[in-house]
Amino acid sequence: MAPLRQIAESIRVGGLEQIKAKRIKQTLGEIQRMRGRLELDFLGELPLDEARDWLRGLPGVGAKTSNCVLLFAFCRPALPVDTHIFRVAKRLGLIDSKVSVEKAHDLLEAMVLPEQVYPFHVLMIEHGRRVCKAQRPRCTECVFGRFCPSY
């Protein structure tokens, strides 16, 4: 396994590399201990909820990370909810303003057809970054303007 400084260097662009490198190394060590090797291919064969639960049993792995692994590494219909998706979904009224981010994963995933999870994820993030910004949303430019309860 790579030393911490090498892990930190390889993820530096994402920020918080020292903290994240320690967690990555710890998680990899746990996978090695539990599985006897560093591979997760078996997750592709498990039912989605079992794969998600297995990942969430790892140190530092929550709903967003487990869903990212399943969506991007295994093309499974697991919806990661980041800050952009969470904000846009609330503003559009897809989820109640009091819903937690943890609950938002389940609620939003249940609304989206499995084959649409990936494009939904990507498009919601893009919309949140370009139009429905946190501080200054561009409501007059929004394609959802006439339907959006926050407009």
Task: Point out the residues that are catalytic.
Answer: 64, 82
> What is the spatial distance between Cα 68 and Cα 147, in angstroms, rounded to a whole number?
29
Other CB atoms within 10 Å distance of the CB of residue 2: 13
* HSE-up of residue 92 (Cα within 13 Å, Cβ side): 17
